Copies of this chain bind each other. A is one copy, B any other.
């Protein structure tokens, strides 16, 4: 099995990934957002500043006793590779060569026993431990933070804990080592006619343990469920001991401990193994577009799809702003005909909203569901516009993080954030969060573009996913913080959850208490105190 690929230390994707920001897009950005006069490239890797490792010789010796010389790395480059996740502020800092910090060592255990041994050493030597899977967190989930009581901080890279440990075809259940990457699992399952069906935007690099730790939801979660719904069993290696929960379909034996571990973001221990529900790979995939006269009618159509149980696996609705930008960028790039402004304008959909619908399943399932779904959409004056928008979306479904790197090069701030709420509150929250971001951008003197889509449908509500772009200021981090803060306040004030699938990490921790209350925070702290009595696991994340 090949090693998990290492991403560019300063951004997304592997070295050599071709650029994708075309001339049209750049012109659009220049007109609507503003770009830098000269592109700014990342510093050289060797120029990235990290303090010298604070790991004591005693601690280093004890760690080596567990994982050997090869299992512990303290060199500059490896530390930089584990210095941050892939959030906007992470990238701004890395490209400038001044990350907030770096782990004092990177540990590479090869099996569960070594993880257990490392946790014991770390507890004894007061080393903060940051579990590190794909390193794709966009909320500071893998930042190398340490508390005042920690002598140093180590990244625990789980890349070597990978592979399928057991496949139960009859029960459609697979047990994997948690460091396994999502594409590797999909490849192996694909060869057997199976799929997990979990495709977050970070799919190409994400680890399965990371998906569990962050309660990830993939782009096709409307069809395949959220990651937590796929987890039928797991092993948590906590400093205080193992929690080993076998794969069972359902139980009433007390509170659901699986759901206590899923979402714990490395603060309770290391997720070592996962049992996951898999499905037959879809024989048919049909992705297509539909237009709505406005956001409100599109939302009502999506609600009907979810509540009448005919939603496709992927269902997304861009608001007017996101639709406008998609069309502008696609306009001269190939998408013509039914996506042309003139065609839409003639039909009365000129300022409308584009939805992407992705049906997956057997040919018969797709045919039946699609027929019923399209009938529902027509009730809401939805206008089918063929497969080209669907195909374009599929082709680009993992592209945004690559694009972000290029936007940073052009001096453009780009960030995404997300929430979820009930249907009855969705349009109001859309307005309020969008408005808050716009006002914050304007207050920073950098008005830009704010757009949003609805995705991840549930019977009772859906998620809202916002993107904003603006000209990057000199003080890029403060600029970002101001906008992010305003958005988070608007989300929590407006009745949304602080995160639907990005997790809490470091960035959202200040808002968690507003969502679950002081008693909820206390309950989580009690759990942590029990499972991680020395407080070494991922300090500064999740809990405020």
Contact = CB atoms under 8 A, between A and B. Distances in A.
A484 interface: no
Given A232-B460, A242-B519, A422-B247, A253 B497 contact: yes
A216 B530 CA distance: 28
Which interface class (under 10, 10 to 19, 20 to 34, 35 or more) fits A?
35 or more
Most chain B CB inside 10 Å of its own CB: which residue of A214, A307, A527 = A527
Interface string A515-526: 111111011111
Nearest to A237: B519
A461 B171 CA distance: 6
Given A307-B280, A424-B168, A523-B527, A460 B254 contact: no
A86 interface: no
A396 interface: no
A279 interface: yes
A381 interface: no
Contact of A253 (B249, B498, B525): B498
A516 B243 contact: yes
| Interface of A (DSSP majority class) | mixed
A256 B256 contact: yes
A508 B253 contact: yes
A501 interface: yes
Contacts of A463: 249-250
A352 B262 CA distance: 43
Given A254-B524, A264-B254, A279-B459, A495 B171 contact: no
A250 B529 CA distance: 26
Going nearest first, the 3 A-B pairs with the smallest beta carbon separation are A249-B461, A526-B530, A249-B458
Interface of A: 168, 170-173, 214-217, 226, 228, 232, 236, 238, 240-257, 259-265, 277, 279-280, 303, 307-309, 364-365, 368, 372, 420-425, 456, 458-463, 495-504, 508, 512, 515-520, 522-527, 529-531, 542
